[in-house]
Amino acid sequence: MAKVLVTGGAGFIGTAVVRQLLGEGEQVVNLDKLTYAGSNPPLGALAEGGRYTLEVADIADAAAVARIFAQHRPDAVMHLAAESHVDRSIDGPADFIQTNLVGTFTLLEAARRYWGALEGAGKARFRFHLISTDEVFGSLAEGEEADENARYQPNSPYAASKAGADHLARAWHRTYGLPVIATNCSNNYGPWQFPEKLIPLMILNALDGKKLPVYGQGSNVRDWLYVGDHAAALTLALRQGRIGETYNIAGREQHPNIAIVKMICAILDEALPRSPLRPHEKLIEFVTDRPGHDLRYAVDDSKIRRELQWQPKETLASGLKKTVHWYLDNRDWWEKIRSGVYRGERLGKVR
Ligand SMILES: NC(=O)c1ccc[n+]([C@@H]2O[C@H](COP(=O)([O-])OP(=O)(O)OC[C@H]3O[C@@H](n4cnc5c(N)ncnc54)[C@H](O)[C@@H]3O)[C@@H](O)[C@H]2O)c1
């Protein structure tokens, strides 16, 4: 049984990764600062048996991170902690530089010292897994797909900070030999996603009878992957990925934003046949585009499918249906957020 130090394990993808690891019988230490995005949902029976520990700390706090490594002695690190919302990175890039760059640097340094002092099987087993995004490859033309060797062309402060973190991890591997594995994934959706992101925002606004604000003409294309499929890909890459390699992960579900919003409306129409808000599509409103909004992200994920035999279980249709029903069934969670820390206001408009 391995002990995995997960950073950002109280966030959207992190919580799916923690569940995946606990479900696979591993031990988990979750290092999370519990920012506004860290909702830290209850783990129920999965957390029983002393296999789960939460350490509330900042990844940029070198003393705290060193103490956590020394105390818990992990076999691997899965690094997800980040400031993750593009619109917030436009309004306030400093937090993104601090967490995504300085924080990743701090974690890499702590991992390097800890791993450097390991010996034998423990040293051979250790991995540092950096979880990144397809946004580092920038906006692609119709028909283009970025493979793992594509040029980095980040356009938002968020994407640039993630690209920088990717470069740091690569350098820590090439220079110091730290056993790094990196993955770059497309847009995730599913349970526990903070309601500022496109899919939950649209579901919750539609339920409230509020406008569904679609940026520009809704023509920006993203690839979508169900979060549980991403979590499964991540633990597979951690165990079987080759050291020093990068793996793209995608759902192979590339759609313009307007198509996603219309799908959500159709699922709600079907789920709520007596709602006076039907058809929910009439709530769609086109609003001023996000500054520097990338038109299209698309990654070629044939390497992980070929080498590690990974493939997603959900299609967009099945995953989106599950997600809409999850938000319908979990009002307690999102109503608290919508009445407090984030009320659905427009972010990231400044140029
Ligand atoms: N959401 C996506 O579609 C997507 C796609 C590809 C890659 N990613 C990457 O996956 C990772 C997780 O994304 P997410 O959507 O779950 O993000 P999220 O914003 O939902 O969660 C981030 C978590 O990190 C924690 N955190 C933030 N700053 C911290 C700090 N300084 N120290 C410790 N913890 C801190 C937060 O409390 C939160 O729990 C990120 O690295 C992101 O770049 C996300």
pLDDT digits (tens, 9 = 90+) for 141-194: 999 999 999 999 999 999 999 999 999 999 999 999 999 999 999 999 999 999
**Which of 19, 55, 80 to mutate to test ligand 1, by most ligand atoms within 8 A of the CB atom?**
80
pLDDT of residue 292: 87
13 lines ligand 1 (CB under 6 A): yes
Query: What confidence category does residue 350 fall into, taking pLDDT thresholds of 50, 70 and 90?
Result: low
Closest to 227 in 3D by CA, of 146, 131, 338, 143: 131
Measured in angstroms, how far is the CA atom of residue 100 from the centroid of ligand 1? 9
Cβ neighbour number for residue 263 with a 10 Å cutoff: 18
Known active-site residue 215: no
Least confident of 57-71, 136-150, 201-215, 336-350: 336-350
162 lines ligand 1 (CB under 6 A): yes
Atom of ligand 1 nearest to the CA of 158: 43
pLDDT tens for residues 265-274?
999 999 999 9
Residue 276 main-chain phi, psi, to 5 deg: -70, -10
Structure tokens at 109: 């340094």
Known active-site residue 135: yes
Percent residues over pLDDT 70 in the chain: 98
pLDDT tens for residues 259-303?
999 999 999 999 999 999 999 999 999 999 989 899 999 999 999
Choose, from 52, 114, 158, 327, the residue flagged as catalytic. Answer: 158
Cα angle value 159/160/161 (rounded, 5°): 90
Q: List alpha helices for 117-156, DSSP H.
A: 120-125
Which residue, judged by its Cα, is nearest atom 26 of ligand 1?
81
Which residue, judged by its Cα, is nearest atom 7 of ligand 1?
133
pLDDT tens for residues 328-347?
999 999 998 998 876 777 68
Burial (CB count <10 Å: 0-12, 13-18, 19+), residue 1: exposed
Measured in angstroms, how far is the CA atom of residue 320 from the centroid of ligand 1? 21
Q: pTM of the full predicted structure? A: 0.97
Choose, from 135, 253, 294, 314, the residue flagged as catalytic. Answer: 135
Q: Which residues contact 45 (CB under 8 A, 6 or more apart)?
A: none
188 lines ligand 1 (CB under 6 A): yes
Percent residues over pLDDT 90 in the chain: 92
pLDDT tens for residues 130-156?
999 999 999 999 999 999 999 999 999
pLDDT tens for residues 214-223?
999 999 999 9
Known active-site residue 114: no
81 lines ligand 1 (CB under 6 A): yes
Structure tokens at 141: 């033309």
